[in-house]
Structure 1
Amino acid sequence: MQVDLDIERAQVAEWPRFQRASFQGRRLKLIACALGSVAGLGLVLAFFIGVFSPQSLWPALLVSQGAGLLVLVAGLQSAWWVTQWRSRALLPAVDNLPAEDEPVDNLGWYERLLERIGARSVGLLKQIGAPALWLAGWAMLVLLGVEHAWDLQLPAAALGVSASVGAVLSLLLAFGLLVFERQLAQQPPVEWPEAPALAQLTRVAIIVLVLGALCLLFAAETSIWPVRLAVLMGLLPGLVAAELLLRAVLSLFIPRRDPLEPTLLGRSVIADLLRWPPQPLLALQHELHNRFGIDLRQIWAFSYMRRAFLPVLASVALVGWLLTGVHEVPLQGRGIYERFGKPVEVFGPGLHVALPWPWGRVLNVENGVVHELATSVVQSRAEVEAEPAEGPAPAIANRLWDASHVNDKSQVIASRRADQQSFQIVNMDVRFVYRIGLTDAAALAATYNSADVPTLIRSTASRILVHEFASRTLDGLLGADRVSLADEIGRAVQADLQSLDSGVEILATVVEAIHPPAGAANAYHGVQAAQIGAQALIARERGAAAEQTNQAQLQASIAHDRASATAREINATAQAADLRFNADRKAYATAGHAFVLEHYLSQLSQGLGNAQLLILDHRLGGSSNAPTIDLRTFTLPADPASPRNPVPPGAEH
């Protein structure tokens, strides 16, 4: 119970905790200085060892043990502040009047500003209090040390004689702290109310020191657990330091009065749990009883709960154990029921009741779930930032062969170039679509005959691929053989899996890609470009030769056809002239002079058929006039050298 000096100052000298306050303060100060020196020495050694040997066990061990000691030092210093207040409470009351500062007339604005800032800073520090500041500082130092030494990747190593020396020193210090803890535990609360809380903090340091000694004694090159324990044991002082830091922060919101007796700020609920038997609610029970007068032991409900806890716990455990015999098989799975370790039945989807564990158990098996498996093993890859969908395509998309695919597998395959046989390396992505067989026998075989189904399929496929590509060439594989390659590989892999009684069913085999290795992409592109260029030149020359041949054939055909037509035409003309001559000769022989006259007249009519003629009969003008032709409509040829003499109208010919 706290004491208010304004009310009970006269009685404090009679109380044992005030009478022994000075002795307790000197003892706490001495022990805190000694433990602080040891902890500081350990932290300095840990720093230098970490500089020269970062992978050693010593830095983590020394930091964890130093953190445990610093937590105890923080608690001892917090208790020392309480004893100092009690010692001052025994002194006679003195009126401490504030000293008046002599006014100084020549202070400038800068000096006045500094004085005002200093006064406010001092007032703020007094309001916070030195105990809270020191406690927060110790807690921050412990947390920083534990965080700096936290490394669960330290390798195991043998420490030699130094480990034995360190273990002995740790045990000696732990023994000394154990004696101190026993003394604190035996102190009456009337004489020293803070002793139980300090004893619990002492147990934190003892536990850390003993665990550190065990780590040093069992450290070896083949044992990894001492290294892990040396790092993990820093969690205990780290948690206690975090609680102390929280208490220091929350103490800022508690009003402080100098006449009121302070409470121990450096107590820890986590440290209070380090007792046997564990009583996590003991502190809550004491607080309720001391502050509000509520005794939880007198409540019937809590007493009944304490008596019924074990029977209820046993009943719940029994029901839980019986429920281990109820198994739920999902819709996409099956269950193989083992009774005393022997498979006796395959359960379908639904709820099934069997013997509880460990006499009966159900192993889950897939039921029709389809998987896709690549022949190559995908290693862990660094995360690559994805290209935005709205932006341009990445550079790798222009050349798919310039980078290795995720599931590529290299194969050696024969290649023919001219008359020489050679070998080339190609990368291919072959995938298998498989599932566990739908029969009960297939489920049993997949469970008991195959430890790792994907690994079995991958190894079988690799062996089949080597045999398949040994009898094929690259040209055939890139051509007609590619269509039947997937089917042949799938049938061969399925046959091997059936011979092994694996219970796996290959549904499809997909050959995603066949291309050169990524490193040979540029050279292969050059070879392809040269081959395409040569083929283009050959095709161009063949086209030019074919064009010239066709042109010559066309010209010869035209000349031949023209000559044939001309000869035919001449022959026909000659035949027509011959027929006409024979006809004229026969007509002349038959008609005589009449035929000649008629022929003359027909030729004359034919020649003058388009001329504008005026024929005058000789009988119109008398018998003395001859036939007359009007030549006025005809244009005579003109000679430019001779003068033009127009023909008078009415000229006769």
Structure 2
Amino acid sequence: MSAKPASTDGQFEETPRFQQASLHTLRLARLVQGSTLTAALLWLGALFIGVFDPASQWVVVLAMNAAALVLLAAAGRSAWAVARWRAEAIGHQAVRLALWSASDNPDDPPLSALERGLLRIGLAGRRQLQRLGSEALWLAGLAVLALVMVASAWRLDLPAPAAAGQLHWLAGGVLALAAFALVVAERHLASENPVVWPEAADLAAQIRWLVAVQVLSIACLLFTDGERLWPVRLAVLTGLLPAALAMELILRALFSVFSPRRPGQEPRLLARSLVCGLLQWPPRPLAFLRHELHQRFGIDLRQVWAFDFMRRAALPVLALVAMVGWLLTGVTQIAMDNRGIYERFGNPVEVWQPGLHLGLPWPLGRVLVVDNGQVHELATSGDAALADPLADAEGPAPAAANRLWDASHISENAQVIAGDGGGRQNFQIVNMDVRFIYRIGLDDRAALAATYHSTDVAMLLRTIANRVLVRDFASRSLDGVLGAERQALGQDIGAAVQAYLDRLDSGVQVLVTSVEAIHPPAGAANAYHGVQAAQITAQALIARDRGKAAEQNSQARTKATGLDHQATSGAHETEARARIAELRFSAERSAWQQAGQAFVLEQYLDHLAKGLGKASSLIIDHRLGTAQAPTLDLRSYAFPLDPAAGPGTGKPATRPDQERAH
């Protein structure tokens, strides 16, 4: 709070700015109150939205507009302090800024000793602040508050906001109406006579600064489409306007503290801004500095010969510098790890190797930089910005080194692969990390092809790789790529991608194709392990049952073969006996035909001897006695026919027993 004037001079009453001081305090009080309340509402809205959605575009827009309104309130309060001093200087009543004031009631009880002590301390502190300059402290405090608002909403990593809806158009309309009202107020202040209101021009510049913030906010709200990032980036960068103004006001308030206090002298506006003065047409960035030098020190820069010479020589010198700079654009330095394709009038002429080269200046000649043997690594994952962060060589292993199936990685992407379930063809989803090590070909033709046949080599390689992976995995199974086929998988994919790139004449050379990881999705890894264990158990049971079946089949075959061989041998034996019987029968028949009845008798006796050979027989012969010597019975050794008789006699041979019987 500024000090009151020591005395009232009669000449002040005849000055227009003193006569209108009371009216000015009323207008400025309404401006400060409206700006403060609106800024508070916007700031509370930004805090409320930030609790539920910190990445919302509304937080940035509301915070930046609230900061600009706080700065306008700070400038209005500084101008109100000057107008109040003028009103009090001529004895007029100034309008208060506060919406309420404490009333003194005579019926109130007297203050206690503690309350009186606190009141004295408060009054002493107030007097000290007045000595330092209360208006400077108010200005610095409000400027710091505006900086805090800008810093709280300063985020350049916000995602693309949602497409503009009815709420965006409604907010844009409200901001447009507010900007229109502020433009009307700015034009009214700009048209004020400096003799009547000297601070009107500075307040008009402050309002123009606020209108600029609101216009940029309208563009940020209405041009959001859900895909472009520049609206939200522009909303954040809009905070540079209130931040620059707040920093200037803080510096002005800090420097004003060291200025001597002159209570009897009319104060000057403390919230004058150089940056706000730049926002005018036509732009005159040095006009404010020249005016201050002329008013404060009496130095007119227009009368200095050196400055006049510099003004007249500036155009030729700048033209010469621009010409030399344009000619120097024809000198090109190519680094050791790059090559340059030199274009003359848009036509590629040659490929420059590393070194210093001279050509036509831009745009007549242009050099396009190409890699010279640099090796790049490309993952098939869709977003290169999500690459694994670099890890410290001496620190712990990064998370990307964890190749367990139950861990997911940024560089992995999902792929459909053929599967077999229950004898039916189906599909499975696997996560894989396939990386390509590639480079631009070392010859000039490859450099030209990589530059002119594709706009983005990495995107081209990623697209072709994904296409090849889809086709290649459609003919493979999960068990195959997890087993024996994994060794040849990288070679097959690399060869297919290289063939595709060669057909497109891309100039890209695939050096190595590395299959870093391939496994089922992380969430299904345990389930896949269980399924594999069940399959292994089922296959083991099937193999065991098949072994038992094969063993039983072999035993049955062996037994059947033995029975077959036994039956065959029995049949042969029976057949042999039958043939023997047949031969015996034939022989006996032939003998019977030749010997006649004698053969029959002999057969009878032979069978009788066979039958009685094992029987206990008693021979009764009256010619045998105990007194006689042992007798050898030779009857069994007699021939059925008498050898002395010829075969034609038909007389059977006589046996000794027969003779003895007779």
Mapped contact 2:57–2:232 kept (Cα < 8 A): no
Deviation at 1:470, TM superposition (A): 4.0
Deviations 1:287-344 (A, max 9, x none): 5455555544444332322222121111111222222222222211111122222222
Q: State how far apart, in whole Å, the 2-side matches of 1:229 and 1:372 are.
A: 34
Is residue 174 of structure 2 the alignment partner of residue 178 of structure 1? no
Which has the larger displacement, 261-270 or 294-303? 294-303
Structure 2 length normalisation: TM-score? 0.63
Deviations 1:103-161 (A, max 9, x none): xxx99985675365345323323323443344345545655666678788665345668
Deviations 1:581-604 (A, max 9, x none): xxxxxxxxxxxxxxxxxxxxxxxx
Q: Structure 1 residues 351, 86: closer, same or farther in 2, change over 3 A?
A: farther
Mapped contact 1:63–1:149 kept (Cα < 8 A): no
Aligned residue among 363, 377, 380 for 1:375: 380
Q: What amino acid is aligned across from residue 18 of structure 2 in structure 1? A: S
Is residue 431 of structure 2 the alignment partner of residue 433 of structure 1? no
Q: State how far apart, in whole Å, the 1-side matches of 2:407 and 2:354 are.
A: 45
Mapped contact 1:79–1:266 kept (Cα < 8 A): no
Between the aligned residues of both structures, percent identity stands at 48
Q: Structure 1 residues 87, 329: closer, same or farther in 2, change over 3 A?
A: same
Q: State how far apart, in whole Å, the 2-side matches of 1:479 and 1:302 are.
A: 83
Deviation at 1:366, TM superposition (A): 0.9
Aligned residue among 72, 76, 79 for 1:76: 79
Is residue 124 of structure 2 the alignment partner of residue 128 of structure 1? no
Is residue 540 of structure 2 the alignment partner of residue 499 of structure 1? no
Q: State how far apart, in whole Å, the 2-side matches of 1:422 and 1:466 are.
A: 15
Q: What amino acid is aligned across from residue 446 of structure 1 in structure 2? A: A
Q: State how far apart, in whole Å, the 2-side matches of 1:433 and 1:327 are.
A: 30
Partner of 2:19: 23
Mapped contact 1:432–1:510 kept (Cα < 8 A): yes
SS in 2 for 1:313: helix
Q: Structure 1 residues 300, 85: closer, same or farther in 2, change over 3 A?
A: farther
Equivalences for residues 629-648 of structure 1 within 5 A? none
Number of matched residues? Answer: 508
Mapped contact 2:71–2:242 kept (Cα < 8 A): yes
Partner of 2:203: 201
Partner of 1:460: 464
SS in 2 for 1:171: helix
Is residue 259 of structure 2 the alignment partner of residue 254 of structure 1? yes
Question: What is the RMSD computed on CA atoms of the aligned residues?
Answer: 4.9
Q: What amino acid is aligned across from residue 205 of structure 1 in structure 2? A: I
Equivalences for residues 103-502 of structure 1 within 5 A? 110=114, 113-114=117-118, 117-136=121-140, 138-139=142-143, 142-143=146-147, 156-157=164-165, 167=176, 170-184=179-193, 187-188=194-195, 195=198, 198-206=200-208, 208-209=210-211, 212=214, 220=222, 235-289=240-294, 291-292=296-297, 294-378=299-383, 400-414=404-418, 424-502=428-506
Deviation at 1:251, TM superposition (A): 2.8
Q: State how far apart, in whole Å, the 1-side matches of 2:377 and 2:217 are.
A: 48
Deviations 1:258-284 (A, max 9, x none): 345543322222233334454444444
Deviation at 1:205, TM superposition (A): 0.8
Which ranges in structure 1 are unaligned for 5 or more consecutive residues? Answer: 90-105, 543-653
Q: Structure 1 residues 274, 163: closer, same or farther in 2, change over 3 A?
A: closer
Mapped contact 1:336–1:444 kept (Cα < 8 A): yes
Deviation at 1:360, TM superposition (A): 2.0
Deviation at 1:451, TM superposition (A): 2.2
SS in 2 for 1:183: coil
Q: Structure 1 residues 174, 350: closer, same or farther in 2, change over 3 A?
A: same
SS in 2 for 1:507: strand
Q: State how far apart, in whole Å, the 1-side matches of 2:200 and 2:179 are.
A: 20
Deviations 1:183-241 (A, max 9, x none): 23xx35xxx7x71x540331331454477479769975778989887876665455334
Q: What amino acid is aligned across from residue 86 of structure 2 in structure 1? A: T
Q: State how far apart, in whole Å, the 2-side matches of 1:342 and 1:44 are.
A: 61
Q: What amino acid is aligned across from residue 271 of structure 2 in structure 1? A: G
Q: Structure 1 residues 421, 456: closer, same or farther in 2, change over 3 A?
A: same
Q: What amino acid is aligned across from residue 462 of structure 1 in structure 2? A: N
Q: State how far apart, in whole Å, the 1-side matches of 2:174 and 2:352 are.
A: 62
Which has the larger displacement, 450-459 or 249-258? 249-258
Equivalences for residues 519-534 of structure 1 within 5 A? 519-526=523-530
Q: State how far apart, in whole Å, the 1-side matches of 2:302 and 2:530 are.
A: 91
Mapped contact 1:435–1:507 kept (Cα < 8 A): yes
Mapped contact 1:46–1:63 kept (Cα < 8 A): yes
Q: State how far apart, in whole Å, the 2-side matches of 1:295 and 1:281 are.
A: 12
Q: Structure 1 residues 251, 210: closer, same or farther in 2, change over 3 A?
A: closer
Deviations 1:416-464 (A, max 9, x none): 7998877654433322221111111111111111222222222322333
Mapped contact 2:446–2:506 kept (Cα < 8 A): yes
Partner of 2:611: none
Mapped contact 2:63–2:149 kept (Cα < 8 A): no
Q: Structure 1 residues 295, 69: closer, same or farther in 2, change over 3 A?
A: closer
Q: What amino acid is aligned across from residue 509 of structure 2 in structure 1? A: E
Q: State how far apart, in whole Å, the 2-side matches of 1:260 and 1:519 are.
A: 79
Deviation at 1:170, TM superposition (A): 4.2
Q: Structure 1 residues 125, 161: closer, same or farther in 2, change over 3 A?
A: closer
Structure 1 length normalisation: TM-score? 0.63
Q: State how far apart, in whole Å, the 2-side matches of 1:390 and 1:68 are.
A: 49
Which ranges in structure 2 are unaligned for 5 or more consecutive residues? Answer: 93-109, 548-662
Q: Structure 1 residues 238, 361: closer, same or farther in 2, change over 3 A?
A: same
Mapped contact 2:418–2:474 kept (Cα < 8 A): yes
Partner of 1:595: none
